[in-house]
Structure 1
Amino acid sequence: MLRYFLENHLINISSKHPKDWEEAIRISGEVMKSNGLVTDKYIDQVIADVKEYGPYIVIVPGVAMPHSQADSSGVLGTGIGLTIFPQAISFDQNDPEKDAQLFFMLAAKDNKQHMENIANLSNMLMEDGLIADLRQVKNLQDYQQVMAKYELNKEESR
């Protein structure tokens, strides 16, 4: 799945440190917008959902999965975008487990595709060491090295 982000131009290795989680979600949505997958309306909905329901999008420490309902009118296509920030962004000042540095934004035209995206992403993130390695990525070359490492690990385990 790491190759998917690269080949579909759905990766953003950001040098900016957002001032807050809202700005981080907006930045993570840029790669999705530039690929014609979402509009600002969808990004606004994701932010509204986090304000309403809390930081449910932080699925494990260090990783956020910004998304909203599959049938949101701001969704133009199905895909996942990855934004890597230089440092973690806090969603809750009182809970460091709700900090995220890796933002995997999801968009899907229907619920079935939405659930498939979540399952594929979850499977990838369960790979030992992957989250820590991705958090060290500072440029595209670093990303390609991480991608090569995990592709090699998959081939060796077959």
Structure 2
Amino acid sequence: MLTLTEGLIELDVKAKDAEDAIRKAGQLLVTEGLADQGYVDAMVKGFKEVGPYIVVAPNIAFPHARPELGAKEKGVSLIRLSQPVVFGHPTNDPITLVCALCGTDSTSHIQMLQALADILRDEEKLNVIMNTATSKEEILSII
């Protein structure tokens, strides 16, 4: 089950690079009270240290961090970038959709990954999310 609200969605976000995109997706988690700033910093640190492992499919990244690094409640944020950015993945760059995961334990983290994967496997839904949705409400109706 995915908990997604209008406050956790932003469309046509400008990001100068991968770190900026991760921070913007993470900031939605902070603003909505699901994580603290340390969690966002940990997502960026993980990306810098391990590389583009968070790039899970063409055009899609799922940044996340360990729950003990600042997760308060489980949830996910979704940002669609106005211009794709390079994350450094050999085949799935550039990235347009960034879904930041915030799990309070490993079970909730895996459940959110599975729920997101199920939605994004549906090519019709993914096309709307990535290309044609014009409002947060439209995204919510799909998810």
TM-score, with structure 1 as normaliser: 0.79
Partner of 1:79: 75
Q: How many residues matched? A: 143
Partner of 1:118: 113
Unaligned runs of 5+ in 2: none
Q: Which has the larger radius of gyration?
A: 1
* Cα distance in 1, alignment partners of residues 25 and 76 from structure 2: 10
Cα shift at 1:50: 1.1
CA root-mean-square deviation: 2.3
Q: What percent identity do the matched residue pairs reach?
A: 27
* Cα distance in 2, alignment partners of residues 14 and 40 from structure 1: 23
Q: Which has the higher contact order (CA 8 A, sep 6+)?
A: 2
Q: Deviations over 1:90-143 (max 9, x none)?
A: 012x835232111111001111111111111111111123223222146317x6
Match of 2:57 among 50, 56, 60: 60
Q: Give the alignment of 1:63-142 within 5 angstroms.
A: 63-69=60-66, 71-92=67-88, 95=90, 97-137=92-132, 139-140=134-135
Unaligned runs of 5+ in 1: 152-158
Cα shift at 1:65: 0.4
CA contact (8 A) 2:85 2:94 kept: yes
